Amino acid sequence: MSNIDNIREHLDLMHRDLLREELNHLSLSEMLDLWQEMGEDEAMEIFLLLQLDQKVELITHLSEAEQEWLLKSLSLEKIRELLDEIEPDDLADIIQAVSHDVRSSVWKSLSEEARRETQFLLKFDSDDAAGLMTPRYIALRSNITVEQAIHFIRQGVDDIETIYYVYVVDQLQRIQGVISLREILFSNNSEVIGSKMSTNVISVQEDTDQEEVARILEDYDFIALPVTDRYNRLLGIITFDDVIDVIREEQTEDIYKMGAMDGSSDIYLETGIFRLLKKRIPWLILLLLTGTITTNVLALTDDILSAAAFLVLFIPVITQTGGNSGTQSSTLMIRGIAMGHVDFADIGKVVLKEFLVGVFMGVILGGVIILRSVYLPPGIAWYEGLVIGLSLIFVVLFSTIIGAVAPLLIHKLGWDPTVIAAPLMSTVIDVTGLSIYTFTAKMLLGL
Amino acid sequence: MSNIDNIREHLDLMHRDLLREELNHLSLSEMLDLWQEMGEDEAMEIFLLLQLDQKVELITHLSEAEQEWLLKSLSLEKIRELLDEIEPDDLADIIQAVSHDVRSSVWKSLSEEARRETQFLLKFDSDDAAGLMTPRYIALRSNITVEQAIHFIRQGVDDIETIYYVYVVDQLQRIQGVISLREILFSNNSEVIGSKMSTNVISVQEDTDQEEVARILEDYDFIALPVTDRYNRLLGIITFDDVIDVIREEQTEDIYKMGAMDGSSDIYLETGIFRLLKKRIPWLILLLLTGTITTNVLALTDDILSAAAFLVLFIPVITQTGGNSGTQSSTLMIRGIAMGHVDFADIGKVVLKEFLVGVFMGVILGGVIILRSVYLPPGIAWYEGLVIGLSLIFVVLFSTIIGAVAPLLIHKLGWDPTVIAAPLMSTVIDVTGLSIYTFTAKMLLGL
């Protein structure tokens, strides 16, 4: 951070030249750190002193609200200069993010070509393959030679996103093959591209879901994937860096869903109170309402609880431990489903495994709770401890199995187990856990 | 999957040629699917019919147990053929994964060069930058021309992992600069590499943590990152595909930790009962033991609970709702910390925001529980509902703030908030939630 301290000092002392010098060496993450620490006026002053490629890097990595603010504050001339350098896929994202006013001034500042490219990209859903692609790739015909191809590439269309794969298309723009720059360079000058290219092209359709795109690129370790329409015509390419962004975004969404929240990935400090509320309160209300079924279970077993008052003390322990064991097995299933390692067809194996694991865990936890509650305060009697321990075995076993089966079933029904499993499970486990608890106690105590 | 059905049929009918033809078109994910469905004999038969590059792709993507089995079952000659084609970083991973016996037969089958490269890689911790790198990169001196560089690259050392970045080093192997193949190709033949290269090289140290490596590669959208020792000597490079694997692995670990389990990322169906137990039971015991503090809280407030029996019915609702609101704010913080968006310095802003969100959520949830429990069974009295509703406001407010503050504090102390936050928080929230609950009830009911 000493970089940032230097910058602060130069800014305070108005050393413009030193400041510019210092800023030119900043990496993206340093720029983002600096941006977060600065007030609006400082941030704008800094932004104007950055080099053009730094500006482009920074603006494409800012949050939507910051992009909006920046584009609103810059002069039309500055905006034009900036937009000329931004890749069309990033441009399409910015245009979708900003408000109507900013959008129309951005639109006016675009060159004819950029407007055409962006318009083309805006047709597609941003969660689909086509929403991630750039139309700037290299395509050649199959009958040219390696030497011609190298010459063509070196002539260098400068705004191509990657030159490391070259796609071969026919007159109708249909993909015929693909060849990496590496393969081109390793071939003899006189060879024909068509004879060296791979004709078994791995591509995605324009409407392939972005998670599927990520999995394919990962499986093949490709730098880029071509996107085609249903006539196999090449529309654009998706590069690995955009796929990494997708993986990160999906990761945040999954973690939020596991934390019982709406999955959209916002940046916390920039999210308003009401947006946070909207993200959180629906789940809390749903969980509260389903959770209140436990009040009915407890009301029904009122007589048992008053006949054996020690049972009340262990209500939170029973529901917690049931919840924890269920969360473990459901987490294993949810992750296994997401990674493609488990599905509904494996339910037999899963139930057997969870039954065995559940029995072991139940016996161990039951033993622990007996020793803990008899020998330490509240120091209940041995037979009371036995009641608690035995009930806990059944609760753990049941929760473990339900926790594993529910996500498999939900996935089989076509829903997202990450979202549905948590509320459903916590209610089912609490309600049945408490029923198992009071029923076991009733039997053992002869009530 | 029709591919796989065909393969099955050919296998049954012993159509070896058709089978080989069909297999040659399989992608990695199809091979993995097939592998999972086949018995051991079938799997081995299929494996032997694959092309060499398919074999290499498949074996490097199998689980540790499957690699062990495969290497044990193959002849020494087959192993040698296979190992010759595997990249040294993948080789080092396999060698670390297999048992002692298999390791020594693998070791004997390695070529002199592969043995030297692998030995070099095995020195490093597999979670560090050096554990991800390959020593196969292109390095040049700064005084050669663009034409010479292109000639050198085209001579083509075939087993280089990426030719798309060229590193410039001095006589002592210290990094002087980096230049992409794209920049080389876009330059004139007569230009000198030293004048075109970037001297501001972004690199990582051999002991940089792999998560940090991932963040740096993501920030810069690089295809590869150089790894250096503390004298700035180039040791190897890390390519984007290995970084994607790191991101996936860390994702699984984080999700497991949130599900209160040990974070190591195994494949569920291949994990034995005792390994699953070991992953799960320590957390359950810890959570159970800390959770039992609630029995002491309830024992202390025994008189209040027996004086107002309706309070018992709502114990699970109070602890659940407190837990859920706390989980939400802690999830937001844990993710924010992981993504570098929030840290301890923001604690003031966070507490203010969570206070406001907590008040709104508390009031809404309090209102919901009053209406729900008065108008629906168990149908408690209005003043009883009021007691529950008011307590819930305080519990939600408290849990929301604690849920946000705990991860920030834990992170500040240098621990991993993902692991520690869950058990700590659920106990703190349950214990204080129940105390707030009984205390509020005592006040309101004048007990």
pLDDT digits (tens, 9 = 90+) for B350-363: 999 999 999 999 99
B8/B35 Cα distance (integer angstroms): 12
CATH classification number, A2-123, choose in 1.20.1050.10, 1.10.10.10, 3.90.1150.10, 1.25.60.10: 1.25.60.10
Q: Which is nearest to B260 in space by CA: A330, A362, A408, A339?
A: A330
In this complex, which of B25, B296, B312 lies closest to A377 when CB atoms are compared? Answer: B296
Note whether A321 contacts B288, CB cutoff 8 Å.
Answer: yes
Tally of residues, chain A: 447
Write out the E strands in B153-266: 165-169, 175-180, 204-205, 224-228, 234-239
Q: CB–CB of B169/B141 below 8 Å?
A: yes
- Whole-angstrom CA distances from A60 to A230, A231, A337 are 31, 32, 33
Note whether B287 contacts A321, CB cutoff 8 Å.
Answer: yes
Note whether A316 contacts B430, CB cutoff 8 Å.
Answer: yes
In this complex, which of A164, A336, A434 lies closest to B164 when CB atoms are compared? Answer: A164
Q: Which of B163, B254, B276, B350 to mutate to test the interface with A (most CBs of A within 10 A)?
A: B276
CA torsion angle A269 A272 A273 A276 (round to 10)? -80
A237/A219 Cα distance (integer angstroms): 17
- Whole-angstrom CA distances from A102 to A39, A91, A131, A160 are 22, 13, 21, 27
**What CATH class is the domain A292-445?**
mainly alpha
A201/A167 Cα distance (integer angstroms): 9
- Whole-angstrom CA distances from A309 to A45, A312, B90, B233, B305 are 69, 6, 61, 71, 10
C-alpha A438 chain-centroid distance: 42
A138/A389 Cα distance (integer angstroms): 69
Note whether B315 contacts A316, CB cutoff 8 Å.
Answer: yes
Model pLDDT, residue A260:
76
B324/A291 Cα distance (integer angstroms): 11
Model pLDDT, residue B265:
67
Task: Tell me the pLDDT tens digit for each residue of B41-92.
Answer: 888 888 888 888 888 888 888 888 888 888 888 888 888 888 888 888 888 8
Task: Tell me the pLDDT tens digit for each residue of B191-229.
Answer: 999 999 999 899 999 999 998 899 899 888 899 999 999
Q: Residue A356, exposed/middle/buried by CB under 10 A (0-12, 13-18, 19+)?
A: middle
Is the per-residue pLDDT at B250 higher than 60?
yes
* Nearest residue of B to residue A60, measured between CA atoms: B219
Q: CB–CB of B241/B270 below 8 Å?
A: no
**Number of Cβ within a 10 Å radius of residue A349:** 12
B434/A313 Cα distance (integer angstroms): 11
Domains B2-124 and B138-239 agree in fold: no
Model pLDDT, residue B1:
43
Task: Tell me the pLDDT tens digit for each residue of B333-353.
Answer: 988 888 778 889 999 999 999
Q: Is A130 helix (H, G, I), strand (E, B) or coil?
A: helix
The answer for residues whose C-beta is within 8 angstroms of residue A317's C-beta and 6 or more apart is: A369, A388, A392, B288, B291, B292, B294, B295
Cα angle A338, A344, A347 (rounded to 5 degrees) comes to: 115
Q: Tell me, yes or no, if B314 comes closer than 8 A to chain A by beta carbon.
A: yes
Dihedrals φ, ψ of B204, to 5°? -120, 155
Q: In which element (H, E) is residue B121 found?
A: helix B112-122
Q: Which pLDDT band holds residue B2 (cuts at 50, 70, 90)? A: low
Model pLDDT, residue B143:
93
The answer for residues whose C-beta is within 8 angstroms of residue A389's C-beta and 6 or more apart is: A366, A367, A369, A370
DSSP summary character for residue A20: H
Domain boundaries, chain B: 2-124, 138-239, 292-445
Model pLDDT, residue A61:
83
What's the maximum distance between 2 C-alpha atoms anywhere in chain A?
94
Model pLDDT, residue A261:
80
CATH of domain B138-239: 3.10.580.10
Note whether B258 contacts A261, CB cutoff 8 Å.
Answer: no
- The parts of chain A modelled with pLDDT lower than 50 are 1
What percentage of chain B exceeds 90 in pLDDT? 38
Model pLDDT, residue A95:
85
Average model confidence (pLDDT) for chain B?
87
What percentage of chain B exceeds 70 in pLDDT? 96
Domain B2-124 has CATH 1.25.60.10: yes
The answer for residues whose C-beta is within 8 angstroms of residue B103's C-beta and 6 or more apart is: B95
Model pLDDT, residue B83:
84
Residues of B in contact with A240 (CB under 8 A): 223, 240-241, 244
* Nearest residue of B to residue A307, measured between CA atoms: B306
Note whether B332 contacts A283, CB cutoff 8 Å.
Answer: no
Q: Residue B364, exposed/middle/buried by CB under 10 A (0-12, 13-18, 19+)?
A: middle
Q: Is the dihedral of CA A242, A245, A251, A254 positive or negative?
A: negative
Note whether B349 contacts A377, CB cutoff 8 Å.
Answer: no
| B398-418: average pLDDT | 91
Q: Is B166 helix (H, G, I), strand (E, B) or coil?
A: strand
**What CATH class is the domain A138-240?**
alpha beta
Write out the E strands in B314-417: none
Note whether B248 contacts A244, CB cutoff 8 Å.
Answer: no
Model pLDDT, residue A158:
65
- Between B64 and B166, where is the model more confident? B166
Task: Tell me the pLDDT tens digit for each residue of B263-320.
Answer: 676 778 878 888 888 888 988 898 899 888 999 999 988 888 888 889 999 999 999 9
Model pLDDT, residue A100:
85
Residue corresponding to tokens 């794209």: B182
* Nearest residue of A to residue B423, measured between CA atoms: A324
Model pLDDT, residue A1:
43
B295/A378 Cα distance (integer angstroms): 7
Interface of B with A in 323-342 (CB under 8 A): 324-325, 327-328, 330-336, 339-342
* Nearest residue of B to residue A349, measured between CA atoms: B269
- Whole-angstrom CA distances from B409 to A22, A269, B100, B342, B415 are 33, 17, 44, 12, 9
In this complex, which of A289, A341, A364 lies closest to B269 when CB atoms are compared? Answer: A341
Is the per-residue pLDDT at B422 higher than 70?
no
Q: Tell me, yes or no, if B422 comes closer than 8 A to chain A by beta carbon.
A: no
Task: Determine the residue type at A185.
Answer: L
Q: Tell me, yes or no, if A364 comes closer than 8 A to chain B by beta carbon.
A: yes
Is the per-residue pLDDT at B33 higher than 70?
yes
- Between B188 and A97, where is the model more confident? B188
SS3 content of chain A, % helix, strand, coil (to 5): 70, 10, 25
Q: Which is nearest to B407 in space by CA: B354, B330, B335?
A: B330
